């Protein structure tokens, strides 16, 4: 069985949408065993009792706009997120799915679940929207603003294991985010990471990738430091948002546009859906001793159920155990 | 009169489209005096003689795909780009417009025209597509991969002078590209730049800007180091490209989409045009002793004429002289 802790109270539309996602996931996957951390009364109202569902009463939550989630997590052991993380630490659950605030999840995972022995840094790894038949991973997007080349190598290995075991695509292709494609481009950091990736037997290295190929590159995994990755991810979001607004404006500008819209309404809906994070699930915290999936704060029930599925695949794929072995091999080399 | 050197041979569609741009610009602005560096025979065929046009025969050019434009520029003094830069250095012209390869233009400007006394680094500064009625500047996008906070401050001052004098908008608002909006976010570099920008009397500082607000921020100028800026710019390009493809795919998927397209064809054309670099002109090399505008490699005649206009505005605005004064004041402080 796949044992997952669920933070029922985290997210913009918690607990209702989270519980909808729980209902969908429990119906879809027979191998799931979920422990729900949240307000017992609300959970009992929204969720049918099921031998594969446990409830732990933990109604306290971090405000999604909390400026200092780290301090809040350190001080309040009653939070649904903290209790769910403790269940992972105590190996009652193999992983956690939460739509709570990103920095809180990363820090909580770090402080409570703790890093795998040998892993030097954790990384936050979202899945990019599907383009050209591919769901690419991008990491790190914010766990580390300053980082050493050997830590980036570890992240690349972790992402390769994760990708291979969750998609069953062998030897996923890893690209290094850079300002030019030729070897030797970039800062000292990129030059050193390029060498490490070239020499690693655990990574199938493609070379440098400029972010203008972000959604069209043959790579499965795009790797960089947490500062650069965060900028890339947020630039992608910002551009998509601005273009969406511009498209709406131009279509609404005259009658022809509005008539055309009536015809292609469904086409434009599908276009919008392709950029939606709902299909993909969430971002994974790589490096701690458990599968932690951070669903989008704005997750609806469907999106949250996809995030549960994502955690399920990583646990079925035995990602943590395989990574632990690679770390031992690496230490011996 | 505004005296500009024109590199007729640089660009994917040179010399034909460049010369079309020259014809458009010379007809549009009575105060322009252009010196054309390129193949005399072709120029004479395409351009009508005019007392405000001079021709210097310089038919040699750098290949747009040249892997090492720097070496080529150092070795070959006959290149149209090199001769045009020399005309700026010798103060025969106040500036240069070229669609040649970016690295070649930056290095050539650096080696031949040279930095303004007191300017520590040059920066490449493109104009972002028009959104919300604003054309924002983004810099540096590639001249410096590693840079000190005080150099970024100089770039912010330069960009402020340029923006104010070319648009006549007083005290343009400067934002620092960062991974969060609160002060204290980012790497050591961002923290130090934040302080410098806060304390500078020459910059109207807004604070941190996340790139998800890239095209919607109230800021006129977005500042960062050359590595981060290059990633942001290329991510924007890549996202726009991928979304354009996805939109086309979804519309072409069925008959309703195709019928809808017939109605809103012009609306979609206007949407596409909003992302086009043609309206904006080119990127400016900040920091050298002359106005150097690098038009897009793929410039057509119209785009090139806009780049000429952009250089014209900077010269009429006396940008270099005003910046020199600020640098003297800064040294005295």
pLDDT tens track for B264-304: 888 888 888 777 666 667 999 999 999 999 999 989 999 99
Look up residue A138 and give its two tokens.
């991008």
What residues does B2 pair with on adjacent strands?
B32
Measured CA to CA, the distance from residue B159 to residue B138 in angstroms comes to 9
Angle between helices A188-199 and A149-167 in degrees, nearest 10:
50
- Interface confidence (ipTM) of the complex: 0.91
Strand partners for A205:
A174
* H or E segment and range at residue A20: helix A16-28
Query: With DSSP H G I counted as helix, E B as strand and the rest as coil, what are the percentages for chain A, rounded to 5?
Result: 50, 15, 35
Which residue in B211, B248, B258 has the most chain A C-beta atoms within 10 A of its own C-beta, making it the best mutation to test that interface?
B211
CATH classification number, B1-119+287-333, choose in 3.30.1180.10, 3.40.50.9100, 3.40.718.10, 3.40.190.80: 3.40.718.10
pLDDT score of B69: 84
pLDDT score at B277:
61
Question: Is the pLDDT assigned to residue B57 strictly greater than 90?
Answer: yes
- Indicate the range of A39-48, A66-75, A97-106 predicted with least confidence: A66-75
- B109 in Cβ contact with B97 (< 8 Å): no
Give the confidence band of A195 by pLDDT, cuts at 50, 70, 90.
very high
List chain A residues with CB under 8 Å of B237. Answer: 212
Fold (topology level) of B128-279: Isopropylmalate Dehydrogenase (3.40.718)
Residue A277's pLDDT band (cuts 50, 70, 90) = low
Phi, psi of B66 (to 5 degrees): -55, 125
- B211 neighbourhood in chain A, CB within 8 Å: 231, 234-235, 238
CB A194 within 8 A of CB A159: no
So what's the pLDDT on residue B132? 83
Residue range B248-265, pLDDT digits in tens: 888 888 888 888 888 888
SS3 label, residue B300: coil
- State whether residue A12 is helix, strand or coil: coil
- Tokens standing for A237? 């979001």
Where do the domains of chain A lie?
1-117+287-318, 120-281
Tokens for A188, please give them: 């000292």
Average pLDDT estimate for B44-69: 91
Residues of A in contact with B239 (CB under 8 A): 214-215, 235-236, 239-240, 243
CB neighbour list of residue B133: distance below 8 Å, 6 or more residues apart: none
Mutation choice for A interface testing from B130, B217, B264, B279 by most A CBs within 10 A: B264
Share of chain A above pLDDT 90, in %: 73
Distance CA B269, CA A63 (A): 44
Tokens representing B47 are 């351009």
Predicted TM-score (pTM) of this structure: 0.92
d(CA B38, CA B32): 18
- Phi-psi map region of A36: left, alpha, beta (phi>0 left; psi -120 to 50 alpha): beta
Contact A215 B237 (CB under 8 A): no
Averaged pLDDT for residues B197-222:
96
CA angle B16, B18, B19 (to 5 degrees): 65
Q: Compute how many other C-beta atoms are within 10 angstroms of the C-beta atom of residue B175.
A: 25
Nearest-by-CA chain A residue for B252: A267
- pLDDT for residue B253: 85
In this predicted model, what pLDDT tens digit does every residue of A197-227 receive, in sequence order? 999 999 999 999 999 999 999 999 999 999 9
Let me know if domain A1-117+287-318 sits in CATH 3.40.47.10.
Answer: no
Tens of pLDDT along A93-126? 999 999 999 989 999 999 999 999 999 999 999 9
- Tell me if A214 and B242 make a contact (CB, 8 A cut-off): yes
DSSP string, A101-116: -HHHHHHHIIIII-BP
Residue among A179, A242, A250 whose CB faces B145 most closely:
A179
Joined tokens for residue A65: 């706009």
> Quick one: CATH architecture of A120-281?
3-Layer(aba) Sandwich (3.40)
A256/B267 Cβ within 8 A? yes
Q: Considering only the beta carbons, identify the residue of A67, A142, A239 that sits closest to B214.
A: A239
- What local confidence, expressed as pLDDT, does residue A150 receive? 95
Chain A residues whose beta carbon lies within 8 Å of the beta carbon of residue B231:
177, 179, 211, 228, 231-232, 235
Write the pLDDT tens digit of every residue in B114-142. 999 999 999 999 999 888 888 899 999 98
Cβ distance A239 to B242 less than 8 Å, yes or no, reads no
pLDDT at B68: 85
**Mean pLDDT score across all residues of chain A:** 92
**Pair B64, B11: CB distance under 8 Å:** yes
* Three-state DSSP state, B129: coil
Work out the average pLDDT over B152-166.
96
Structure confidence at residue B250 (pLDDT) = 86
Asked if A212 lies within 8 A of B238 by C-beta distance, the reply is yes
**Two tokens, residue A111:** 């402080």
CA distances from A7 to A18, A90, A101, A302 (A): 8, 16, 11, 16
What residues of chain B lie within 8 A of the CB of A232, using their CB?
A: 231-232, 235
pLDDT of residue A144: 82
Residue with tokens 């309703």: B256
pLDDT of A64 > 60? The answer is: yes
E strands, chain A, are 2-7, 32-38, 53-57, 95-98, 123-125, 137-139, 173-177, 204-209, 221-223, 283-286, 291-294
Q: Which long-range contacts (CB under 8 A, 24 or more apart) does B131-137 make?
A: B131/A242, B131/A245, B131/A246, B131/B215, B131/B216, B131/B274, B132/B215, B132/B216, B134/B220, B135/B280, B136/B214, B136/B215, B136/B217, B136/B219, B136/B220, B136/B221, B136/B222, B137/B162, B137/B163, B137/B220, B137/B221, B137/B222
> Does residue B329 have a pLDDT over 80?
no
Distance of CA B27 to the CA centre of its chain: 23
In tens, the pLDDT along A129-186 reads 888 888 899 999 987 888 899 999 999 999 999 999 999 899 999 999 999 999 999 9
Q: Return the residue in B141, B242, B275, B298 with the most chain A beta carbons within 10 A, the one to mutate for interface testing.
A: B242
Q: What's the confidence (pLDDT) of residue A332? A: 60
Chain A residues in contact with B232 (beta carbon < 8 A): 231-232, 235
Residue A330 is predicted with a pLDDT of 64
| Contact between chains at A243 and B275 (C-beta distance less than 8 A) | yes
Quick check: do A1-117+287-318 and A120-281 share a fold? Answer: yes
- What does the pLDDT read at residue B263? 86
3-state secondary structure of B118: coil
Alpha-carbon distances of B287 from A244, A307, B156, B162, B238, rounded to whole Å: 36, 49, 11, 11, 28
| Assigned token pair, B177 | 């590209």
The residue-averaged pLDDT of B23-50 equals: 96
What distance in Å separates residue B274's CA from the closest CA in chain A? 8
């Amino acid at each position: 069985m796949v044992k997952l802790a669920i933070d029922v109270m985290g997210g913009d539309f918690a607990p209702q949408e989270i519980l909808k996602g729980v209902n969908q996931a429990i119906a879809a996957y027979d191998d799931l065993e979920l422990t729900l951390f949240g307000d017992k009364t609300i959970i009992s109202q929204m969720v049918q009792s099921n031998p594969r569902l446990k409830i732990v009463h933990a109604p306290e939550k971090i405000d999604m706009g909390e400026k200092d989630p780290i301090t809040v997590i350190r001080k309040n052991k009653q939070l649904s997120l903290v209790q769910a993380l403790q269940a992972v630490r105590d190996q009652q659950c193999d992983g956690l799915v939460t739509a709570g605030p990103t920095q809180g999840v990363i820090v909580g995972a770090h402080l409570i679940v703790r890093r795998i022995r040998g892993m030097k840094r954790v990384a936050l790894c979202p899945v990019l929207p599907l383009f050209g038949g591919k769901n690419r991973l991008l990491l790190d997007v914010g766990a580390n603003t300053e980082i050493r080349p050997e830590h980036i190598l570890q992240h690349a290995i972790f992402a390769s294991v994760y990708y291979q075991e969750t998609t069953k695509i062998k030897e996923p292709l890893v690209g290094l985010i850079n300002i030019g494609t030729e070897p030797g481009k970039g800062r000292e950091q990129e030059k050193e990471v390029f060498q490490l990736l070239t020499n690693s037997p655990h990574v199938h290295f493609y070379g440098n990738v400029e972010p203008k190929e972000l959604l069209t590159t043959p790579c499965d995994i795009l790797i960089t430091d947490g500062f650069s990755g965060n900028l890339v991810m947020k630039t992608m979001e910002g551009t998509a948002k601005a273009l969406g607004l511009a498209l709406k404006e131009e279509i609404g500008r005259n009658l022809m546009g509005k008539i055309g819209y009536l015809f292609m309404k469904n086409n434009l809906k599908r276009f919008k859906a392709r950029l939606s994070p709902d299909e993909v699930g969430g971002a994974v915290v790589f490096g701690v001793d458990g599968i932690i999936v951070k669903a989008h704060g704005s997750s609806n029930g469907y999106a949250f159920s996809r995030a549960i599925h994502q955690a399920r695949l990583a646990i079925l794929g035995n990602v943590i155990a395989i990574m632990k072995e690679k770390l031992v091999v690496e230490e011996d080399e």
